[in-house]
Amino acid sequence: MPELPEVEVTRRSIAGRIAGAQIHGVLLGGVLRWPLNCAPEDLLGHRVQAVRRRGKYLLLDLDVGVLLIHLGMSGRLSFAHQPSSELDKLDKLGKHEHFALQTSLGTLRLKDPRRFGAVVYAQSEQDAVIRKLLGRLGPEPLGADFDLQAFQVALARSKAAIKPGLLSGKLVVGVGNIYACEVLFQAGIHPETRCCDLDHLRMERLHQAIRAVLERAIQRGGSTLRDFSDAQGQAGHFQLETMVYARAGQPCRVCASTVCVIRQGQRSSFFCPACQKP
């Protein structure tokens, strides 16, 4: 599943290219996770003003309303400029493509083989459909609202194990499985340690590690485990430098102990038993 770094990399790869574009056509394919919430023709003539991200959601701000895009388990966006002779034509959708937004600057397409992605329109972020999806998300890990003291208070109140606690999106939004494993390694915390059992020093290390790992992953273009690429077709490279994720049975890059894997809530947790203490 594309995680926060992959979604942010995608956002950056389209934001400067589509801003100011006028919508000329909309094409829908197979049923996605949620309905578009408007007739496709209702979007015609509107302009894309900016592209933002909230957690793992992309938000295309229009002159009226907002388009929310989620990449689901296997989705990716592509954006291609078109010659002026093609601007009035919207080609048919390709294999596994379920949405295309043809604009004056090019066409944005969503390809999602497993159909867990979504494109949803709302008149504003206050609409019930948007509040339902975004209203319960935790603080942005790379934003100013990811406050250390508030994070420590939230951890102290939770009896959950720290790994599923990070994945829940309540303590902080967007830390998926790959990056939770890497964050806990960098912070020296065993994935089964309860949130409330962490002392303030380890909470501070965890807070710093979340920012550092996600920022590094974005710099490296995200992780391409199967077929992720940004909207210009560029693959990510963070997976080439993971310390523990997907390295079970291999020596730890720090201490040479064998990296282990356990199952937590149907997810694989990779860790070094020597570097990460309960």
Residues noted as catalytic: 2-3, 56, 267
- Give the C-alpha separation, 4 to 242, whole Å: 16
Q: Which residues contact 219 (CB under 8 A, 6 or more apart)?
A: none
- Give the C-alpha separation, 112 to 211, whole Å: 29
Separate counts of helices (H) and strands (E) for the chain: 6, 10
Q: Between vectors from CA 100 to CA 226 and to CA 52, what angle results, nearest 5°? A: 75
Give me the half-sphere count of Cα atoms (radius 13 Å) on the Cβ side of residue 92: 2
- Nearest of 169, 173, 260, 180 to residue 213 by alpha carbon: 180
Q: What is the DSSP letter of 253?
A: T
- Give the C-alpha separation, 93 to 99, whole Å: 8
Residue in this structure with the two tokens 């992780």, named with its chain if needed: 223
Residue 252 C-alpha from the chain's centroid:
27
Yes or no: say if 98 and 72 are a contact pair by the CB < 8 Å rule. Answer: no
Q: Which residues contact 210 (CB under 8 A, 6 or more apart)?
A: 141, 146, 166, 172, 175, 183
97-103 vs 118-122, strand pairing mode: unpaired
Question: What ranges in the chain are assigned the alpha helix state H?
Answer: 4-18, 128-134, 148-156, 162-167, 177-187, 200-219
